[in-house]
Every structure is written in structure tokens, then in C-alpha cells.
Amino acid sequence: MAGLLTGTRVLDLTNVLAGPFCCYQLAQVGAEVIKVEVPGTGDLARQLGADPELNRRGMGASFLAQNAGKRSITLNLKHPKGREAFTRLVATSDVVVENFRPGVMERLGLGYNALKAVKNDIIYCAISGFGQDGPLKFNPAYDQIIQGLCGVMSVTGDAQSAPLRVGYPVADTMGGITASFAIAAALFKRERTGEGEFIDVSMLESSLVAMGWAVSNWLIAGVRPQPMGNENMTASPSGTFRTGNGLLNIAANKQEQFETLARLIGRDDLITHPQFAGREDRKKYRFELSTEIESALAAKSAKEWSALLNKRGVPAGEVLDVPSVLEHPQIVERQLLRTFDAVPDVDRPVRVVRSGFRLGSGDPGPQSPPPKLGADTETLLSELGYSKRDVEDLAREEAI
């Protein structure tokens, strides 16, 4: 496909998840993403993942998941000649993305102002845990730390288990998504004005913004968010229910949905029951209502109830684990996964998730497998005007 960002060159100096995830989104819509890595070790994610052997090879599962569609060059940015090669790259690029602690790039002489002198319209995106200023700006950024600080953990779980960490790195993911959106917006602005941009992305703020009603109910209504487990504070019956086989999520948030649900499970009496007839009554007696509903749901499996309820307009869905959802016909038919049969230093096919949207002009997705560390160093340096002898000298001096 001709990607939305075809012709855009992005320099990805990031590590582990938030930054690599951001640049992975850009690569999937056509950007040429060049991963600039430390010689010898590269992105820390190369050593992370559930397979120790892949970690040893520098192709850990955590790296493979976020870096398909990219090229890799190794540059020692602490070496003058490594920095010189990097500035040559900048002169050919549109976007620079980094997730160092604030001030690191300035100390290397490669901060926004320095790079703007090289390429006046460069878009520079700095992703950090807390942003480029404020009292926490130098604190290390780890997903669980951010989850605890931003309030996510306080509303995850129930009264007995909260505060509880969300089961995937949600703060990293939100930081990466926020950064990719900001970069796309800056690229659009540059097309109209010719001006570059400095983008300051805070994982803490990105995560807090994504909390939606948990924040607005406090800011606007003065109601302190509480952990409610699988219950939905805005309506009842709306949550997770036991069935004859498996768990089922039901979101009968509207009156007509509740009434349809009651009829489908053979409990018409619930519609006029004084504790359940009105919306606010159902919220007050949500646990009593859940007990009544679960006794009826025992007649069928979660899969059967899901099909029946959705057919009649009552939102419902099975509670699946990761392997099950990846095999679900909905995911399979829409081809969310991309498989690379041959990946350097990996002894098996590699499957990765693509983007979470589709395009009429051609669906986004990575066009090449995740690269070995430094796989494109010589080629990229050659494109920048370095001779073979120059490259050998740079390698001997440990600048690359």
C-alpha cells in the first residue's frame, strides 16, 4: 500500500516500550523509521521477553513486538564522529523521537535547538515519565510507578484487592499512542506552515487524560472514584456474571436493554420488582440483582448467552484470555496479525499485531521484520556519503 506517511523519515532513539510503540505506529502507516541504537547492546527490549534464548540473541519478544518495519543503525552518540553521523541523518529526516531523561540530549549537544540548526523544520518528540519540567522531571519512568501516581491503580480491583496494577503496561502504551498522534498533527501543521515543532509527552499526563470519567466525575461532580472490580458505576446490571460455563460481561445500561435481558433469561418478574424497576434502584441493589441474574444464566454457557443477547440488542461478550481472543473469528477475519516467516536470529515465524484501524486505501501494517542490531548501519552510512573506508574507520574508533 501507499502509506499515509510515505516519504516521512523518522529517527527512533527510543528504548523498551513507549517510544518504540509510538514509532511502530508511524512505521505501519508508511513512515521510514530508522532505529538509532547503542553499539553492542541496542534497545534494552532486545533482552526482554518470556523466551530467554531470544533474549540472549538480542531479539527478545518485547523487541520483536514493537519494531517490525524499522531499520537499525548503531551510533555511539558519546563519540564526536558518532554525533556527526547522527546530525547527517537528522539533515535527511523529518522527525526525531527520544525517551531519555530530560536534559540527556542537550548534554550530548543534540537537543532540539541544536537539531533545529541542522534541519530548521525538524519535528522533535521527547517522551518521558513526567514531562520536561516540574518537580518529578528527573525521576525514572517505569510503567508501574506511573500507574500508581496517576490514579489508575486506585480504581483497579475491588474494595478488597485495590489498589491493583493493570495487567499490561497501560501507561507506556498511552504515552506511545499520545506521542504518535502528536507527531502526526505536527506533520500536518508543517505541511501547511513549513514549521517544525517540539513535542513534550508525559506518560503521567497521557495516562491521566485517558482515565476519562474517573477524572471527570471528581472534577465536575465531586465524586471520588472508587474501585468497583468488574461492576460499572454508571449502571446496573452492567458487569461480569457467572454462567453455566465461563464468565460473561453484560452492559444492560438502558432501561429497554434491562427489560430485554430479563425476558431472555426467563425472569420477567425482575422488570417490576420494586428493587430493580428503576435505574437508580438497580444501582443501589446491584449485588442482589446480580445474584438473581446469575442463577438464570447458569442454564447456558457464556458463548451461548453472548450470541443470544447480542442478537436481541443487549451488549454482551465472553471474558477471554489472550490466546483465545487471538484465535477468535473476529480477529482472524480482520487479519490483525502479521506473520514474518523468516526473521534474522529467530528460529521461528514471528507474529505481531498490526494497527488498531483499517484504511480504505490499504490497511496499515509493518512491511519488514524486526531488524538485527545494526543491520542497516553500513547501508545508511553509505547513503549519507560515507565510503567503505570511512565506515571501517568509524567502526575501529567505536563511533558506530
Active site residue ranges? 172
Q: What is the C-alpha end-to-end distance of the chain, expressed in Å?
A: 33
CB 249 within 8 A of CB 240: yes
Q: What's phi and psi for 16, nearest 5 deg?
A: 70, -90
Q: Are strands 9-12 and 95-98 parallel, antiparallel or unpaired?
A: parallel
CB 77 within 8 A of CB 83: yes
State the cell numbers at 349: 515465524
Q: Under a CB-based contact definition with an 8 Å cutoff, are residues 300 and 306 in contact?
A: no
Q: Is the Cβ–Cβ distance between 325 and 337 less than 8 Å? A: no
Angle (CA) 385 391 397, round 5°: 130
Distances (CA, A) of 129 to 114, 140, 144, 211, 242: 23, 7, 11, 17, 39
**C-alpha to C-alpha distance for 183 and 178, rounded to whole angstroms:** 9
CA dihedral 287, 288, 293, 297 (to 10 degrees): 70
Per 3-state DSSP, the chain is made up of helix, strand and coil in percentages (nearest 5) of 40, 15, 45
